[in-house]
Structure 1
Amino acid sequence: MLQLIDISFAFAKAETLKNISLKMKQGAHVAVIGESGCGKSTLLDIVYGLLQAQKGVVKWNDEELEGADHHLVPGHSMMKYVPQEFDLMPFTSVFENVGEHLSIQIDDRVSRIDELLDVVDMSSFKNRKVKTLSGGQKQRVAIAKALAQEPQLLLLDEPFSHIDNFRKNELRRKLFDYLTHNNISCLVATHDRDDVLSFCHQTIIMKEGQIIDFRATAEVYGSPLSTYTAALFDEVNAIPKNWLDTKEDLILYPHQLKVSKTGFSVEVQQSFFQGADYLITAQKDQKKLFFRSKKILEIGKEVFLNTIS
């Protein structure tokens, strides 16, 4: 189990992390999301030991972990980290990179490397030199290399940012299936809602170096505490309570509003084709709103919106 207790850290007097505390059970997959500069990558660097916390304690299974000030070589044996800059050997093969730290005396060394290359869909590139690969291919090799030594905790920083969209979904499914099957915990810093919603049990929301929410992912998404949180997942509507005669103001995603015969009136601004439907932007009282429609709507048209029951 990973535990952080009152972690604080500052770069040149600018506080980056402020009193961060959390617990992760073994086997849990936890996302860290927030606006750029909120401290996501710094948090992972602290956990792995690349940076030294200036206050607080990092624990693994109730044992305190010493940070960067106490180790010539950063990191901890039970963890592996895939940062945004990949730690690969460019002039050796994909196969050699993944197996770099595996003893040649291990009986199943070859089969383990082959299994991991299959997980990241790089089997057909096993004999290629890393320097010849694309950014997305290097990212997949880095993930396989991190898994080769069977860590108990995998730290991922924007793990699919270089990978083509048509490969992302299959890679995510295979990777998180592998982590689940092997009871490997995962802490992933990301901007991509698809990394979060389908694959992470819990979600941490960070803002200005602080954790402002940490709940089950479905709860964070379904009942956002603020428009800031909701906007990390989708466009967001802040609906004053007097518009729909509700007890309190509402925070709604576009799919939670529909064109209706009753509700509040808006003026259509634009329609954006999204494949299955259109994202419509509208305006009311100088306030921009977003909703979805099965058909394109005429600019300037007045429609009534209500919540989807």
Structure 2
Amino acid sequence: MKTDATIRLTQASRRYGTRVAVREASISLSAGRITALLGPSGSGKSTILRMIAGLEPLDGGTLHMGDTLLADAQSSIPPEHRDIGLVFQDYALFPHLSVADNVAFGLKGPKSARRQQALDWLAQVKLADRADSWPHMLSGGEQQRVALVRALARQPRAILLDEPFSGLDRHLKSEVRRSLIDTLRASGTAVLVVTHDAEEALMMADDLVLMDKGEILQSGTPQDCYTRPASIAAARLLGEAEVLKATVQNGVATTVFGTMACEHADGEVWLMARPEGLKAEPAIDGATVCAVAFGGTFYEILLEKDGQSLRLRAPQTMLRAGDKAAVRFDPASTCLYAA
């Protein structure tokens, strides 16, 4: 079967005794695109990375690279023959080799040619001047960039990154991430980034895969997954989500905080809204403002009514604790799910 995907993991499962780590998971990685696999610790995302790399067997399903079967429950091509690059959390640079020799490791050809290739790759990540340094002389961000170009230098069909920015502080993480996205896309290889950081996944990914408790919850563009999550669990993986009981009747969803026009069938539902998709305005008869907190780029407002609470975020507000407020829902960032 012909496919545009470089890597296809189809209905793959992995068990450890009676515990199912991955259950019938399917993921496609395409050349020149970054796929982010997002999930909490213990969700099975690193197990999927290791299955694709050949470090874990498949107990069910198949793994293909193009039309070639890499693995199924009965067979597996060894990791070194899969043409897949790996970048681990600890970067795993060779301490006894210089930066240039780390990048050149595994390349073929005369030593001078291998060194030139290494220098060219280091120049892409602005580290050519550190070519003769030892790994321990580099910062965490610099080590991360060296580990990446070492994997890319061999020009693999796919590259897998396991929590690549977890060891960096917030400012450095953002800076290194921006510099590497262009390098990854320009390489033309298929990229999988495993992460538990929702912001990282949203900002890096061309394609996003959400995972929890060993199962794939949703796949799609970052925008679709954020604005139209397949479930409340998927919504919460990507950020703050307010969930309310609601009743739909004649095209209107009613909550204790207000109503919203919808196209859902009549009945009891759960309404999920992003805090930034809610608006609160002063009202004589409305919810009670319990607290207002300043968050830098927003104000977080806590409302209560009839024993239920609701948080929203606004760039500016005139509301204060003790005020009454009416709530408006933004249909573009609000979803309904069967109760």
- TM category (shorter chain) comes to 0.7 to 0.9
1:273-288 matched pairs, under 5 angstroms = 273-274=295-296, 276-288=297-309
Deviations 1:198-257 (A, max 9, x none): 331211111211112112221111111222222222211124332233345432212111
How does the TM-score come out when normalised to structure 2? 0.80
1:136-215 matched pairs, under 5 angstroms = 136-215=141-220
SS at structure 1 position matched to 2:79: coil
Establish whether residue 103 from structure 1 lines up as the match of residue 105 from structure 2.
Answer: no
SS at structure 1 position matched to 2:204: coil
Cα separation, partners in 2 of 1:260 and 1:14, compared to 1, 3 Å: same
What amino acid sits opposite 1:99 in the alignment? A
Deviation at 1:121, TM superposition (A): 4.3
Establish whether residue 222 from structure 1 lines up as the match of residue 236 from structure 2.
Answer: no
Aligned position for 1:245: 259
Aligned position for 1:268: 290
Deviation at 1:81, TM superposition (A): 1.2
Q: For 2:69, which of 59, 64, 71 is the aligned residue?
A: 64
Cα separation, partners in 2 of 1:212 and 1:127, compared to 1, 3 Å: same
Matched residues in 1 for 2:19 and 2:127: separation? 41
More strand as a share of residues: 2
How does the TM-score come out when normalised to structure 1? 0.87
Q: For 1:289, which of 310, 323, 327 is the aligned residue?
A: 310
- Structure 2 unaligned blocks of 5 or more: 1-5, 247-252, 265-269, 332-339
SS at structure 2 position matched to 1:65: strand
Cα separation, partners in 2 of 1:306 and 1:133, compared to 1, 3 Å: same
Aligned position for 1:255: 276
SS at structure 2 position matched to 1:245: strand
Cα separation, partners in 2 of 1:206 and 1:234, compared to 1, 3 Å: same
Establish whether residue 39 from structure 1 lines up as the match of residue 44 from structure 2.
Answer: yes
Cα separation, partners in 2 of 1:306 and 1:180, compared to 1, 3 Å: same
Deviation at 1:266, TM superposition (A): 4.2
- Structure 1 unaligned blocks of 5 or more: none
Matched residues in 1 for 2:150 and 2:34: separation? 19
Matched residues in 2 for 1:75 and 1:287: separation? 56
Deviations 1:139-183 (A, max 9, x none): 332212111111121111111112233333343333222232232
Matched residues in 1 for 2:54 and 2:330: separation? 47
Matched residues in 2 for 1:72 and 1:26: separation? 21
Establish whether residue 86 from structure 1 lines up as the match of residue 63 from structure 2.
Answer: no
**Greater shift in the superposed pair: 11-20 or 244-253:** 244-253
SS at structure 1 position matched to 2:55: coil
Matched residues in 2 for 1:122 and 1:206: separation? 35
SS at structure 1 position matched to 2:58: coil
What amino acid sits opposite 2:218 in the alignment? D
Matched residues in 1 for 2:196 and 2:52: separation? 19
Q: For 2:324, which of 283, 299, 302 is the aligned residue?
A: 302
Aligned position for 1:24: 29
Matched residues in 2 for 1:8 and 1:77: separation? 20
SS at structure 1 position matched to 2:312: strand
Cα separation, partners in 2 of 1:115 and 1:232, compared to 1, 3 Å: farther
Deviation at 1:119, TM superposition (A): 4.0
Matched residues in 2 for 1:266 and 1:17: separation? 45
What amino acid sits opposite 2:259 in the alignment? D
Matched residues in 1 for 2:316 and 2:46: separation? 41
Matched residues in 2 for 1:148 and 1:119: separation? 11
Aligned position for 2:337: none
Matched residues in 2 for 1:290 and 1:108: separation? 59
Tell me the percent identity.
Answer: 29
Cα separation, partners in 2 of 1:234 and 1:131, compared to 1, 3 Å: same
Q: For 1:3, which of 5, 8, 12 is the aligned residue?
A: 8
Matched residues in 2 for 1:179 and 1:68: separation? 31
Deviation at 1:93, TM superposition (A): 1.8
